[in-house]
Amino acid sequence: MYSAAETLRSALALGADAGIHILTDMRIDQDLQPLAVAKVFQKITLDQKFDLVFLGKQAIDDDYNQTGQILASLLGIPSATFCSRIEVSEDSKSADVTREVDFGLQKIRVTLPAVFTCDLRLNTPRFATVTSIIKAKKKTIETIDLKSLGIDVEPRLKVEKVEMPTERKGGVMVSSVDELI
């Protein structure tokens, strides 16, 4: 399993300029919830003065699909979710976004700055070269203790129980419409 520092180094090897590692002793699966993560991202975003914020569509651990939308709301800027294509305008004042929705593809335009939650089809990462891996080791990863940010990250909900869905009966094949009826 990758540590957060290894994941950041991988991102640096793929072209990121710098990384920020937030240290916490909280359990990520229960204690650090979407609102808390959005508050951390809000603080970092405001401190670093970002124009574009890219987040994953949803976390693989809890599958809440909330952090990006909460972050955009906290920052008071637009968000585009489920992005499979993003084209920033030449004047960098807006972005045309293709979103993957239940009924197909939807195209929207958002003004910048904005928060984007990205679908896996947005980009296929290239492989890091040996040179870029070596350069990544020299790039900066700023380490910040979560407590030093002064953010209320107390959990607002408690997962009472997680269980497998009940197993459904298997379907049967019929040979004709009459038999189905």
∠ Cα 120 121 124 (to 5°): 85
Asked whether the predicted pLDDT for residue 1 surpasses 50, the reply is no
Residue 107: which pLDDT band, with cuts at 50, 70 and 90? very high
Locate 95 and state its tokens: 């972005």
Residue ranges of the alpha helices (H) in 60-168?
67-75, 130-136
What is the pTM assigned to this prediction? 0.79
Q: How far is Cα 63 from Cα 17, in angstroms, rounded to an integer?
A: 29
CATH superfamily of 4-157: HUPs (3.40.50.620)
Above pLDDT 70, what percent of the chain?
A: 93
pLDDT(64) > 80: no
Q: How far is CA 131 from CA 135, 138, 139, in A?
A: 6, 11, 13
Domain ranges within the chain, ordered by starting residue = 4-157
Q: Does 2 score more than 70 pLDDT?
A: no
pLDDT of residue 162: 85
